């Protein structure tokens, strides 16, 4: 980060001017008093008496750097260099705002100044001589970038807006909802995030082209923290990459959605920007449905199992305001919240998603529906498992509705399943482990799916083949003390926080919907008694 150093000045008696063609900028090594360019690089060196060998080596490397830069046809600025040593107080006297008198500039040290506006740059760490060429090249490139910045907003090769301190305010004037990716070019995680951001931006522009985001003012940009150290400090960036929502008052908010793929990022950005949709006629119905389906198409293209979730409230009724307040707390991520003006419109919206309200609940004023991934709807008035009466319960339903009722066990980093489960609100996991090639497998999976649909938010429901090696830890714990270890097929119910010992069912004849539901009661009893229950 930027800090201030005492830079004492005793210039090398050597004055080297590198000749340049008239068409190229002037890059040269000069005495400090011979500076003519406002773009200046100070390179600290030891005195001849202290360490002549190192001084000579730094000078040699510096000349090579200048020669390389000077022959670059893309150079636009004239940058001059001066070698300074640590024995003089000249620099301290003339650049007091940039120095501390008791802190001499280490060598090889670098300070870069733009005398036109007072901007300066320095490395975050003391440079090793072996890294001198790499570091001075990196800093000079960044220095040139900052010096040439204007309020104009340009795009990189992927079409992502390049943001910095001189154009951020301009970007916020034209983009109400701006997502910024603060990244470090050398960071492997930033490098992995770059194509995801580029894809999200590509998808965003395609949706804008189709007029699916009219009036929302959504944009995506990126900030190179190697260049924009001031923005890094201003927005409290502690790690790279960091995604933040930029507000038009210059402040920023943390991005708290998933970022495994572009669809997750864009879904969170759009749902945050749209707020609560007001569905009052056929036109607003189509706009809402088309937007959600466009995001779902992106989830499908990503190859994952995640989908958007629609939280639908019918206007009216005594409980409407309370439910709307709950729903507002969970806007963002992949939850699209909408208020429908009447029952007929609510039915139309649900049918557009292939969903129908539960048969025992009418589309009455104040009804709340969650359209799940499986194409069914769940209502707070009479849900299959328990009533949605709190914000946390609503979030649990939204979370569970984002994915299939029963999903394949896949803890790989690329799938994001492990992170999703560990960081999610549902801490109970139920998994079917069986021979997938057996004739009974689909029937067993069907029994699990039946329970998963009726107890949608009761657990995360998974299945896996018995050959899955990554289940060893779960199974060894569940069948601890059992002679011969796990028996297949089996159902295992366990809690991520280990609030109770794992509950199991073994044998195809025992894996029925009724007995699977019974595991939840056994788990509750085991938790209350602080002891485990054996096989059923």
Same domain, 112 and 55: yes
Task: Check whether 47 has a pLDDT greater than 80.
Answer: no
Classified as helix, coil or strand, 367 is: coil
For 136, half-sphere exposure in the C-beta direction (CA atoms, 13 angstrom radius) is: 27
Q: pTM higher than 0.75 for the full model? A: no
- For residues 333 and 356, what is the distance between their CA atoms, to the nearest angstrom? 24
Same domain, 256 and 337: no
Task: Check whether 404 has a pLDDT greater than 80.
Answer: yes
Confidence of residue 88 (pLDDT cuts 50, 70, 90): low
Task: Check whether 272 has a pLDDT greater than 60.
Answer: yes
Q: Where are the beta strands (DSSP E) in 234-360?
A: 242-246, 252-254, 277-279, 309-314, 335-340
From first CA to last CA, the distance across the chain in angstroms is: 61
What is the structure's pLDDT at 386? 45
Confidence of residue 18 (pLDDT cuts 50, 70, 90): very low
Token reading at 28? 């040269």
Q: Last residue of some domain: 333, 368, 401?
A: 401
Share of the chain above pLDDT 70, in %: 83
- For residues 236 and 487, what is the distance between their CA atoms, to the nearest angstrom? 52
Give the residue-averaged pLDDT of 429-455. 93
Q: Contact 18/70 with Cβ under 8 angstroms?
A: yes
Task: Check whether 380 has a pLDDT greater than 80.
Answer: no
pLDDT-wise least confident of 126-135, 283-292, 524-533: 524-533
More confident residue, 280 or 146: 280
Classified as helix, coil or strand, 205 is: helix
Token reading at 74? 């893309």
- For residues 72 and 161, what is the distance between their CA atoms, to the nearest angstrom? 26
Same domain, 192 and 252: yes
State pLDDT tens for residues 175-197: 889 999 999 999 999 999 999 99
State pLDDT tens for residues 192-207: 999 999 999 999 999 9
**Residue 16 located in a structural domain:** no
Task: Check whether 164 has a pLDDT greater than 70.
Answer: yes
Task: Check whether 108 has a pLDDT greater than 70.
Answer: yes
Share of the chain above pLDDT 90, in %: 31
Classified as helix, coil or strand, 378 is: strand
Q: Last residue of some domain: 114, 147, 180?
A: 147
Give the CATH number for residue 321: 3.40.30
Report which of 512, 532, 535, 515 is spatially closest to residue 523, judged by C-alpha positions.
532
Same domain, 171 and 83: no
β-pairing verdict for 119-121 and 109-114:
antiparallel
Same domain, 353 and 449: no
**Residue 201 located in a structural domain:** yes
More confident residue, 388 or 227: 227
Q: Contact 199/301 with Cβ under 8 angstroms?
A: no
Confidence of residue 514 (pLDDT cuts 50, 70, 90): very high
What is the structure's pLDDT at 107? 66
**Residue 377 located in a structural domain:** yes
Task: Check whether 43 has a pLDDT greater than 90.
Answer: no
Strand-pairing partners, residue 120, are 113
Q: Apex CA 522: angle with CA 519 and CA 523, to 5°?
A: 85
Same domain, 297 and 249: no
Confidence of residue 19 (pLDDT cuts 50, 70, 90): very low
Diameter of the chain measured on Cα atoms:
93
Same domain, 170 and 202: yes
Give the residue ranges of DSSP H helices in 378-532: 391-401, 417-423, 441-454, 472-478, 513-529
Give the CATH number for residue 255: 3.40.30.10
More confident residue, 521 or 109: 521
**Residue 155 located in a structural domain:** no
**Residue 181 located in a structural domain:** yes
Backbone dihedral region for residue 111 (phi beyond 0: left; psi -120 to 50: alpha; all else: beta): beta
Which residue range is the domain that position 384 belongs to? 275-401
Q: Apex CA 88: angle with CA 82 and CA 93, to 5°?
A: 90
Please name the residues in contact with 369: beta carbons below 8 A apart, sequence gap of 6 or more. Answer: 310, 311, 312, 313, 346, 350, 355, 357, 377, 378, 379
Q: What integer best gives the mean pLDDT of the chain?
A: 81
Task: Check whether 28 has a pLDDT greater than 50.
Answer: yes
Same domain, 421 and 321: no
What is the structure's pLDDT at 354? 78
Give the residue-averaged pLDDT of 72-90. 72
Task: Check whether 251 has a pLDDT greater than 60.
Answer: yes
Q: Contact 35/80 with Cβ under 8 angstroms?
A: yes
What is the structure's pLDDT at 93? 55
**Residue 173 located in a structural domain:** yes
Same domain, 379 and 417: no
Same domain, 388 and 411: no
**Residue 239 located in a structural domain:** yes
Same domain, 94 and 32: yes
Report which of 144, 238, 221, 145 is spatially closest to residue 187, judged by C-alpha positions.
238
Q: Last residue of some domain: 401, 432, 448?
A: 401
Confidence of residue 22 (pLDDT cuts 50, 70, 90): very low
pLDDT-wise least confident of 36-40, 109-113, 339-343, 495-499: 109-113
Domain count, the chain: 4
State pLDDT tens for residues 328-377: 888 877 889 999 998 888 888 888 887 766 555 567 888 888 887 665 55
Same domain, 255 and 367: no
Give the residue-averaged pLDDT of 94-101. 51
More confident residue, 31 or 76: 31
**Residue 118 located in a structural domain:** yes
Task: Check whether 382 has a pLDDT greater than 50.
Answer: no
């Amino acid at each position: 980060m930027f800090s201030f150093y005492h830079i004492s000045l005793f210039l090398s008696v050597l004055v080297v001017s590198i000749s340049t063609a008239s068409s190229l900028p002037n890059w040269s090594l000069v005495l400090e008093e011979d500076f003519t360019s406002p773009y200046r690089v100070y390179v600290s060196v030891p005195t001849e008496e202290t360490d002549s060998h190192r001084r000579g080596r730094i000078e040699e490397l510096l000349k090579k750097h200048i020669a390389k830069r000077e022959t670059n046809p893309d150079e636009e600025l004239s940058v001059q260099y001066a070698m300074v040593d640590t024995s003089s107080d000249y620099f301290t006297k003339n650049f007091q705002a940039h120095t501390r008198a008791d802190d001499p500039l280490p060598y090889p040290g670098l300070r870069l100044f733009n005398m036109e506006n007072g901007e300066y740059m320095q490395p975050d760490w003391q440079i090793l001589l072996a890294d001198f060429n790499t570091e001075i090249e990196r800093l000079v490139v960044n220095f040139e970038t900052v010096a040439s910045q204007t309020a104009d907003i340009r795009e990189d090769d992927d079409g992502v807006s390049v943001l910095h301190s001189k154009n951020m305010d301009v970007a916020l004037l034209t983009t109400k909802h701006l997502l910024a990716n603060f990244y470090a070019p050398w960071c492997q995680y930033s490098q992995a995030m770059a194509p995801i951001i580029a894809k999200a931006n590509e998808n965003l522009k395609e949706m804008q082209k189709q007029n699916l985001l009219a009036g929302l003012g959504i944009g995506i940009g990126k900030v190179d923290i190697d260049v924009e150290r001031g923005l890094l400090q201003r927005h409290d960036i502690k790690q790279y990459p960091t995604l933040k929502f930029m507000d038009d008052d210059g402040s920023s908010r943390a991005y708290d959605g998933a970022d495994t793929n572009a669809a997750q990022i864009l879904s969170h950005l759009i749902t945050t920007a749209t707020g609560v949709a007001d569905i009052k006629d056929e036109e607003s119905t189509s706009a809402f449905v088309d937007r959600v389906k466009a995001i779902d198409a992106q989830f499908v293209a990503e190859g994952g199992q995640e989908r958007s979730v629609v939280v639908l409230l019918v206007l009216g009724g005594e409980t409407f305001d309370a439910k709307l307040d709950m729903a507002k707390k969970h806007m963002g991520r992949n939850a699209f919240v909408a208020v429908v003006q009447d029952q007929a419109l609510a039915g139309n919206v649900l049918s557009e998603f292939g969903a129908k309200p539960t048969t025992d609940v009418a589309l009455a004023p104040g009804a709340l529906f969650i359209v799940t991934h499986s194409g069914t709807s769940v209502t707070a008035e009479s849900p299959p498992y328990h009533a949605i009466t709190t914000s946390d319960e609503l979030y649990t339903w939204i979370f569970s509705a984002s994915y299939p009722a029963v999903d394949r066990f896949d803890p790989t980093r690329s799938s994001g399943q492990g992170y999703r489960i560990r960081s999610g609100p549902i801490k109970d996991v139920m998994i079917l482990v069986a021979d997938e090639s057996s004739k009974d497998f689909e029937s067993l999976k069907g029994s699990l799916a039946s329970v998963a649909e009726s107890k949608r938010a009761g657990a995360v429901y998974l299945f896996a083949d018995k050959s899955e090696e990554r289940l060893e830890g779960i199974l060894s714990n569940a069948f601890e003390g059992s002679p011969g270890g796990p028996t297949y097929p089996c159902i295992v119910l366990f809690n991520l926080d280990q609030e109770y010992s794992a509950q199991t069912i073994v044998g195809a004849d025992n894996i029925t919907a009724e007995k699977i539901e019974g595991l939840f009661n056994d788990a509750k009893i085991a938790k209350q008694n602080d002891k485990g229950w054996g096989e059923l």
